[in-house]
Amino acid sequence: MHKVSLFGRYALFGIEIEIHQICLMIWKQRNDKLRELPEGAPFERLLAVREVGDWASFSSPLGHAVHDPFLMKDMDVAVEVLHHHLQNDSKILVFGDYDVDGTTSVAMMYEWLVNLGARASFYIPNRYEEGYGFSITGAQHAIDEKKQLIITLDCGTKDGARIALCREHGIDVIVCDHHEPGDLPNANAVLNPKRRDCSYPFAGLSGCGVGYKLICAYTMLHPHPESHPETFLDLVAIAAGADIVPMLDENRTLVAKGLHLMNRYLRPGLAALLRKSGTKRSTWDVSDLVFLLAPRINAAGRVASGNEAVKLLIAQEVQEVEDLAQQVEDFNMSRRSIDQDVSAAALAKVESDNGHAEAFVTVVWDEEWLKGVIGIVASRLIERYYRPTIVFTKSHGVYAGSGRSIEGIDLYLALEKCQENIVQFGGHTMAAGLTVLPEKIDAFAQQFNAVVAEMLNHKRPEPTVYFDLPLSLSEVDMTWIEEMKKMAPFGPDNMAPVFLFENVHHAYPPKKIGSDQKHVKCTLKQQGVFGYVDAVGFGMAKEWEIFQSNSMDVLAALEINEYNGRRTPQLMIKAVRAHAT
Ligand SMILES: [Mn+2]
């Protein structure tokens, strides 16, 4: 089953979102800053609209140099501290978040340290007992175990108090993070490209990407026969795919290299996970990272513990790999069913809330909901209502919430403005986590609504689906579709191109296809234009009525269909509407 994947701009976080569930979408040209459309051949126009710049360089991300890691603030100190502890055979604790970014970073850093002969161990906090970030239990563990160095990955930026506690006990701390910084913790080094005082050329790295930079920097200064940073690019690529970071600049290079590596060699744990997923594919792209690997790796931390994910990513022994992969697959199955139940319950709650129709946000809570799925549920509620959304559950006496946002609303900023009703919060523009005292939950919901209403100027936003260019069917041509593929890897800020075809007609009656008749296959033509083009709309049978009409507008990506050795261009339909005359 094809997923309407990277064309949507919703927070995916490794979860399948079908964007055409939102029925009233505005169709909009992606780059509307351009006063008039560029001229020329279709591909030239596309590159102009995308403001790609130097195509020769953009189209070969594999060949790109990445940035010097020492451009990152504190990198020199981090390498020095790390070197000191490796020289002294110190006890090192690798601490990371329970999500995909965190567990891949921990697997990477731990494996690398072990390869160098270090006395390393790793620690993933329990989502339910400890919550997000460098936990007090984790700090206490490091103190009790007499660790001498802690490396935090994908967290730590906002954990000043716990880091200070460890420092008081003589433990050195290196933070590798990419979350929005507030007051910086007093760690020996805080590696975070989002620091205001960090002049690293690219702020969009994942947490795993930041950890990778530390490994690269160390290896530059202290080469070691067992230190091969590039062997971890598979993990860096998965983290970037799962963590909704911009697929631009260095991330495109790191992801392209990671996929290149995975297509030559798959680490045993990933091979096992892909086998369990039942996929028949033999080469991997970003959507496999996002839809096949990320949800499974995430499921461990959602349902049980992220430790199993780390163990699987570093496992080598055949039976151990098999057992762990099965366990993770089972976690993913139960995640799915819990996710469905909680989503249904949350929808019912919102529907029965009389005030919701007037609100600018969706805030919903229930003490019984599983904390591990509330972020996914928030994403699903956005699909339905298209509003910034926070879903809370109760955890250790407080409401713990997970929020997702829509285009144009910086969730982190919105929460910052509601601080008087929040115990703790952290995150990014499109996703964040927070805790709220039970007696303040109503006040928070009201204030959050007021803040977002203000940010929206009290105008309800309309969900928008973007296309790059209007095209004529006669311009659909194999040669440039082939060339366009070099824009990959696709992801946020570099979505796969989508085109508008106006006033198209059926050359033959359209057909419903697939075992469940959910998909549509048709052949399209345009008046006054030479040639027919085949088109497929996955999951589009629900728009059957529109497909019956004489004249449609279509938003579609362009792909090449291979059938019996014949290669022909094909429209992958993303949205349809009746053509307005
Ligand atoms: Mn992250």
pLDDT in tens, 478-512: 999 999 999 999 998 999 999 999 999 999 999 99
Instruction: Look up the pTM and report it.
Output: 0.88
Task: Give which of 224, 169, 213, 206 is closest to 189, Cα–Cα.
Answer: 213
Q: What is the largest CA-CA distance in the chain?
A: 78
Ligand 1 centroid distance, CA of 159 (Å): 15
How far from 516 is each of 1, 277, 540, 559, 572, CA to CA, in Å?
Answer: 11, 21, 12, 23, 19
**Mean pLDDT computed over every residue of the chain:** 92
Tell me how far the alpha carbon of residue 480 lies from the centroid of ligand 1, in angstroms.
Answer: 35
Strand partners, 506: 524
| CATH number corresponding to 2-57+464-578 | 2.40.50.460
Residue 61 CA to ligand 1 centre (angstroms): 23
* C-alpha of residue 579 to centroid of ligand 1, in Å: 42
Ligand 1 centroid from CA 458, angstroms: 32
d(CA 523, CA 342): 41
Q: How far is the CA of 179 from the centre of ligand 1 (A)?
A: 7
What's the pLDDT score for residue 297? Answer: 95
CA of 205 to the centre of ligand 1 (A): 9
352 residue type, one letter: S
Question: Angle at the Cα of 108 (from 107 to 113), degrees rounded to 5?
Answer: 100
Mean pLDDT, range 549-566, rounded to an integer:
92
How many angstroms does the Cα of residue 306 sit away from the middle of ligand 1?
A: 14
CA 11 – ligand 1 centroid, Å = 13
| Structure tokens, 485 | 């593929």
Q: Which two tokens stand for residue 577?
A: 């509407």
Q: pLDDT band at 34, cuts 50/70/90? A: low
Residue 415 CA to ligand 1 centre (angstroms)? 18
Q: Centre a 10 Å sphere on the Cβ of residue 580 and count the other Cβ atoms it contains.
A: 8
Cα end-to-end distance, the chain, whole Å: 35
Ligand 1: distance of its center to the CA of 96 in Å?
10
CA 170 to chain centre: 36
Ligand 1 centre from 101 Cα, in Å?
A: 5
CA distances from 178 to 46, 138, 318 (A): 32, 20, 34
Whole-number Cα distances in Å, 398 to 15, 158, 491: 27, 19, 35
- The three-class DSSP label of residue 434 is strand
Tell me the CA–centroid distance for residue 16 and ligand 1, in Å. Answer: 19
The residue with tokens 């020329």 is 40
Instruction: Tell me how far the alpha carbon of residue 475 lies from the centroid of ligand 1, in angstroms.
Output: 41
- Token pair for residue 264? 């030559």
108 Cα: distance to centroid of ligand 1 (angstroms) = 14
Which of 36-40, 229-233, 256-260 shows the lowest mean pLDDT across its residues?
36-40
Residues 553 and 524: beta-carbon distance below 8 Å: no
- Per-residue pLDDT at 6 exceeds 80: no
| 476 CA → ligand 1 middle, Å | 39
The pLDDT of residue 5 = 30
Ligand 1 center to residue 191 CA distance, Å? 13
* 570, β-bridge pairs: 534, 559
**Residue that is written with structure tokens 């007992």 in the block:** 129
Q: How many angstroms does the Cα of residue 428 sit away from the middle of ligand 1? A: 9
Q: What is the distance in A from the centroid of ligand 1 to the CA of 15?
A: 16
Ligand 1 center to 302 CA (angstroms): 15
- Ligand 1 centre to CA of 154 (Å) is 5
DSSP string across 211-244: HHHHHHHHHHHS--TT--GGGGHHHHHHHHHHTT
Distance in angstroms (rounded) separating the CA atoms of residues 351 and 31: 36
CA of 241 to the centre of ligand 1 (A): 11
Contact between 401 and 373 (Cβ < 8 Å): no
b/e burial code for range 468-492 (CB count within 10 A of at least 16 → b): bbebebebbeeebbeebeebbbbbb
Task: For domain 69-331, give the CATH number.
Answer: 3.90.1640.30
CA 525 to centroid of ligand 1, rounded, Å: 45
**Which tens digit of pLDDT belongs to each residue from 256-277?**
999 999 999 999 999 999 999 8
**From CA 374, how far away is CA 362, in angstroms rounded?**
13
The answer on pLDDT for 571 being more than 50 is: yes
Q: What is the DSSP letter of 63?
A: G
> CA triplet 286, 291, 295: central angle to 5 degrees?
125
Q: How much distance in Å is there from the Cα of 46 to the middle of ligand 1?
A: 31
Distance 509 CA to ligand 1 centre (A): 48
For residue 544, the surrounding DSSP H or E stretch is helix 544-548
Question: What is the tens place of the pLDDT at every residue in 439-470?
Answer: 999 999 999 999 999 999 999 888 888 899 99
Count Cα atoms within 13 angstroms, Cβ side, for 156: 33
The set of long-range contacts for 32-40, using a CB threshold of 8 Å and a minimum separation of 24, is 37/469, 37/470
Work out the average pLDDT over 383-390: 92
Q: How far is the CA of 318 from the centre of ligand 1 (A)?
A: 30
Cα of 564 to ligand 1 centre, how many Å?
Answer: 43
Fold for 353-455, please state it.
Diaminopimelate Epimerase; Chain A, domain 1 (3.10.310)
CA 85 to chain centre: 34
CA of 245 to the centre of ligand 1 (A): 9
Q: Which residues surround ligand 1, an ion (CB under 5 A)?
A: 101, 154, 207, 243
Ligand 1 center from residue 102 Cα (angstroms): 6
pLDDT at 2 exceeding the cut of 80: no
* Residues 517 and 540: beta-carbon distance below 8 Å: no
Higher pLDDT, 6 or 317: 317
How close is the Cα of 301 to the center of ligand 1, in Å? 14
What is the per-residue pLDDT across 518-539, written as a single tens digit (0 to 9) for each?
999 999 999 988 889 999 999 8
Q: How far is the CA of 395 from the centre of ligand 1 (A)?
A: 22
Q: Where are the domains of the chain?
A: 2-57+464-578, 69-331, 353-455
* pLDDT value of residue 30: 83
Is 35 a residue whose pLDDT tops 80?
no
Each residue's pLDDT tens digit, 276-321: 988 888 888 898 898 899 999 999 988 888 999 999 999 999 999 9
Integer Cα distance of 488 and 255 in angstroms:
10
For residue 484, how far is its CA from the centre of ligand 1 (angstroms)?
30
Q: How far is the CA of 63 from the centre of ligand 1 (A)?
A: 26
pLDDT greater at residue 554 or residue 282 = 554
Sign of CA dihedral 488, 491, 497, 503: positive
Using the mean position of ligand 1's atoms as its centre, give its distance from the Cα of residue 506 in Å.
Answer: 46
Q: How far is CA 228 from CA 101, 108, 267, in A?
A: 20, 11, 15
DSSP string, 187-202: -SEEE-TTSTT---S-
- Summarize the confidence of residues 240-257 as an average pLDDT: 94
The per-residue pLDDT for 128 is: 87
Centroid of ligand 1 to alpha carbon of 406 (angstroms): 19
109 Cα: distance to centroid of ligand 1 (angstroms): 15
